[in-house]
Structure 1
Amino acid sequence: MGGFFMAEYVYILQSEKTGGYYIGQTDDIEKRLMQHNSIDNVEYTKRDQPWALIKTFQCDCRLQARTIERHIKNMKNRKYIQDIIKHSEIFEKLKIKYPCI
């Protein structure tokens, strides 16, 4: 018996204004990007609009996406983010480190 699967993603945005990065997680990337770039945005990302989607990674569950998002944010390291963008195997290792349970 198959179940309904909603894909979960970790995404990396880059500010076209400042060049800074933003890491997030969502099940709807297009909607989330529109929210970040909306004139009605009241979140942290409003000040650095517009944002461009640089990279997305599919996760196996929401918990995994949230945990990996938090891990990347806690690194607070621009080079680490750039390495993840260039080398997808880093993200794959994070999926192994933070499995769905």
Structure 2
Amino acid sequence: MTYYLYVLYSKVSDLYYVGYTSDYIRRLEEHNSLSVGTYTSKHRPWHLEAVFSCGTVEADAIRFERFIKRQKSRRLIERIVQGEMLTGILAQLVRVPHVRD
């Protein structure tokens, strides 16, 4: 099983959200439809901005997600979305092409 790091964007709230999963299409649908009361339910609709393959080890995907969230940097997330050359721990990420809506 391959794990992915994904970046969502809410135009309504002008916010980014970073998560990891083994099925990013399903997660996008869940973020846009699951019960009210979650963080992401307050900022719908979400759009998929970027997806990166993290490999087959879930712990690696968790490490990437936590690293990005700990930075608390919108600029870093925007650099990731724009496809800038990443360094350090993030240099291991491999961008996955996806269809934007």
Range of TM-score over shorter length: 0.7 to 0.9
Q: TM-score, normalised by structure 2?
A: 0.80
Aligned-pair distance for 1:84?
1.2
1:51 aligns with 2:72: no
Q: What root-mean-square deviation, in Å, do the aligned CA atoms of Structure 1 and Structure 2 show? A: 1.9
1:18 to 13, 18, 21: 13
For structure 1, the 5+ residue unaligned runs are: 1-5, 97-101
Aligned-pair distance for 1:89?
3.2
Determine the structure 2 residue equivalent to 1:81: 77
Amino acid corresponding to residue 25 of structure 1 in structure 2? Y
Aligned length: 91
Amino acid corresponding to residue 14 of structure 1 in structure 2? Y
- If you compute each CA radius of gyration, which structure gives the higher value, 1 or 2? 1
Q: TM-score, normalised by structure 1?
A: 0.80
Q: Counting helix residues as a fraction of each chain, which structure ranks higher? A: 1
Moved more, 86-95 or 71-80: 86-95
Percent identity reads 35
For structure 2, the 5+ residue unaligned runs are: 93-101
